Amino acid sequence: MTTNTLKQEDKGGFFANFKFPSAYTILFALIAIVALLTWIVPAGQYDRVMNDDLGKEVPVTGTYKVVDSNPQGIVDVLMAPIDGLYDHNTYEAAAIDVSLFILVIGGFLGLVTKTGAIDAGIERVTAKLAGREEWMIPILMALFAAGGTIYGMAEESLPFYTLLVPVMIAARFDPVVAAATVLLGAGIGTLGSTINPFATVIAANAAGIPFTDGILLRVAMLVIGWFICVAYVMRYAKMVQADQSKSIVFDKYEENKAYFLGDKDEQGSLEFTTTRKIILGIFTAAFGVMIYGVAVLGWWMAEISAMFLAATIIVGIVARMSEEELTSSFIDGARDLLGVALIIGIARGIVVIMDRGMITDTILNTAEHAVTGLSSIVFINVMYWLEILLSFLVPSSSGLAVLTMPIMAPLADFAGVSRDLVVTAYQSASGIVNLMTPTSAVVMGGLAIARVPYVRWVKWVMPLLGILTVLIMAMLSLGAIL
């Protein structure tokens, strides 16, 4: 036991031995809490009409009415994670699509790792970046931010956690740096969405305005927010690189090193053979094809999963694996991410309970009344905080846009605020919440892949979220004045 650990135990007393619950327990507790609310919060519903531009039904302002309650009991709580995997509601696709994608990508990564191509590539990258490893952070965060602002990169980012964690550990950082690079990078891009069709475009259409309205404010929010996030992550990364005991997951240092890097220290350097170079090329190309397919061809989880399955077979052939070795490596890789796939279903169970308990529209109606009659600056800031609350309940950016914009956008006319500012308030609120909400499959799944405990992530990221919130509120207030 290290001296540092002894000091922590001496100071911690009782709490030194306290262990925070796992992500599974936290999510189940949230499901139970939401189920309890269905017994307390009155049930209600808006009338809905089909919006041809969105291809979805949207709520109609002024049509809210109280309906018979449908409180959720113990059986409903137990069924929620199961239903969460395959249930389709008005706003989101079934989580089973994402879960199956996670298993396929796990199998693909497991097979590629088996060939030694990733490990050999990591050794070459870290050797060439010796002394300059921290520059990976702004470069990669810029790329992820571009994905976020252009097409709302979310579930597509999950494979990159598995790829980046060993790279960051080899560079003497920790899994938190890897998780932050992906999650904060793509997240700040989504927060400052410019042409993101799954957030800005849908919200603007639902609000009845062109999606280009208000784009300059969003660009400014994106650029300034990106600089803040990069500075925050790089400061922590340099601190950990200088002293590993400063890592918030230092107690798992040896465990994570063994899990993500294996025994390469004992085996020595891996030879970067021609076969491994080809496999690494296929590996890189697969992610390029994924991004192109989502951004240009309109692919979703089924098409992406099929593409990675094809890439798995090609890698197995190039590596000259036997049928048994190929299938067993794929299954082992999928098994490693099985827990992540289950987390996605459990997280979605919260939304299932809320919708079936008929309290989603009641909460939205309360928000509608809360912003009525306020001055422009107060209106837009209250709107932002209401969208934050609703984002916890509806983590899907497109789902939140379809749910709230038809109700909230018209209220801006009475407050003397442009509707594009309401869209900006919505997407910035959704973006910041999806950097830490336990109801997001991307947050919980990404942290599970990186082996970063959820409670520690929240504690680490909260100061950053506070800074970003001040920035957003200041810019929204400025937008309301101009």
Transcribe 278-340 into DSSP letters: HHHHHHHHHHHHHHHHHHTS---HHHHHHHHHHHHHHHHHHTT--HHHHHHHHHHHHHHTHHH
Query: For residue 122, what pLDDT is reported?
Result: 65
In a domain, 70, yes or no: no
Q: Is residue 217 situated within a structural domain?
A: yes
Number of domains in the chain: 1
Q: Where are the beta strands (DSSP E) in 270-391?
A: none
Q: Let me know: does 126 contact 368? Beta carbons within 8 Å.
A: no
pLDDT at 83 over 60: yes
C-beta neighbour count of 306 within 10 angstroms: 13
Across 226-235, 256-265, 325-334, 372-381, least confident range: 256-265
Question: Exposed (0-12), middle (13-18) or buried (19+): which is 470, by Cβ within 10 Å?
Answer: exposed
Q: Which helix (H) or strand (E) holds 323?
A: helix 323-336
The predicted structure's pLDDT at residue 13: 45
Residue predicted with more confidence, 97 or 268: 97
- Model confidence at 11, pLDDT cuts 50, 70, 90, reads very low
What confidence tens digit (pLDDT) does each residue in 422-437 have? Answer: 999 999 999 999 999 8
377 in any annotated domain: yes
Work out the angle between the directed axes of helices 419-433 and 397-415 (0-180°, nearest 10): 140
Instruction: Look up the domain containing 258 and give its range.
Output: 21-60+78-481
What is the C-alpha separation between 61 and 126, in angstroms, rounded?
Answer: 56
Q: What is the pLDDT of residue 263?
A: 52
pTM for this entry: 0.74
**Taking CA 140 as the corner, what is the angle to CA 134 and CA 144, rounded to the nearest 5 degrees?**
150
Q: What is the mean pLDDT of residues 455-477?
A: 96
Q: For the segment 111-156, what is each residue's pLDDT rounded down to a tens digit?
A: 887 887 776 776 676 677 777 778 889 988 998 898 889 878 887 7
pLDDT at residue 195 tops 50: yes
Place of tokens 């909260």: 462
Q: Is the pLDDT score of 84 beyond 80? A: no
pLDDT of the residue at 466:
96
Of 86 and 473, which is predicted with more confidence? Answer: 473
Both tokens assigned to 466: 């506070």
Distance set, CA 424 to CA 62, 150, 213, 298, 409 (Å)? 23, 15, 10, 24, 11
Residue 5 domain-assigned (yes or no): no
User: What span, in angstroms and rounded, lies between the C-alpha atoms of 257 and 249?
Assistant: 11
Backbone φ and ψ for 59, nearest 5 degrees, come out as -70, 150
**Average pLDDT rounded to a whole number, residues 403-430:** 89
Contact 38, 69 (CB under 8 A): yes
Q: Residues 333, 307, 150, CA angle at the centre, nearest 5°?
A: 105
By the 8 A CB rule, do 419 and 409 touch? yes
- pLDDT score of 266 more than 90: no
For residue 313, what are the contacts with CB-CB under 8 A and spacing of at least 6?
326
Give a yes or no: residue 71 inside a domain.
Answer: no
Structure-block tokens of residue 470: 């001040």
| 66 has pLDDT over 80 | yes
Kindly list the distances between the CA atom of residue 35 and the CA atoms of 28, 31, 75, 350, 356, in Å, as whole numbers in the listed order: 11, 6, 11, 8, 10
Instruction: Provide the pLDDT for residue 9.
Output: 40
Q: Which residue has the higher pLDDT, 421 or 52?
A: 421
C-alpha–C-alpha distance, residues 400 and 37, integer Å: 20
Task: Give the percent of the chain with pLDDT over 90.
Answer: 34
pLDDT confidence of residue 373: 77
Residue predicted with more confidence, 174 or 121: 174
Task: Evaluate whether residue 43 is within a structural domain.
Answer: yes
Nearest residue to 99 via CA among 89, 114, 111, 84: 84
Does the structure show a pLDDT above 60 at 91?
A: no
DSSP-assigned letter for residue 244: G
Distance CA 204, CA 408 (A): 12
User: Is the separation of the CB atoms in 457 and 360 below 8 Å?
Assistant: no
Distance, CA of 60 to chain centre? 30
Task: Give the pLDDT of residue 126.
Answer: 66
Handedness of CA 94, 362, 400, 162 (dihedral sign): negative
Q: Which residue has the higher pLDDT, 20 or 143?
A: 143
Q: Please state the rounded mean pLDDT for residues 415-424.
A: 91
d(CA 11, CA 156): 42
Cα–Cα nearest to 465, from 275, 183, 269 = 183
Question: Looking at residue 113, what is its pLDDT?
Answer: 78
pLDDT mean over 177-197: 92
Express as a percent the part of the chain with pLDDT over 70: 89
CA–CA distance, 233 with 195 (Å, rounded to integer): 26
The whole-number pLDDT of residue 6 equals 38
Looking at every residue in the chain, the average pLDDT score rounds to 84
In sequence order, what are the beta bridge partners of 51? 56
Tens-place pLDDT, residues 279-334: 888 888 887 888 788 778 878 778 888 999 999 999 999 989 998 889 998 998 88
Tokens 């409180």 identify what position?
71
> Does the residue 245 lie in any domain?
yes
Give the pair of three-digit tokens for residue 71.
């409180």
**Is 476 strand, coil or helix?**
helix
* Lowest mean per-residue pLDDT among 2-6, 184-188, 242-246, 386-390: 2-6
98 found inside a domain: yes
- Paired tokens of 440: 């997001």
pLDDT in the model for residue 310: 94
Compute the distance between CA of residue 427 and CA of residue 200 in angstroms, rounded to an integer. Answer: 7
What is the model's pLDDT at position 225? 96
Can you tell me which residue has the tokens 């059986």? 75
Closest by CA position to 218, among listed 12, 420, 392, 433: 420
| Measured distance CA(406)–CA(422) in Å, rounded | 11
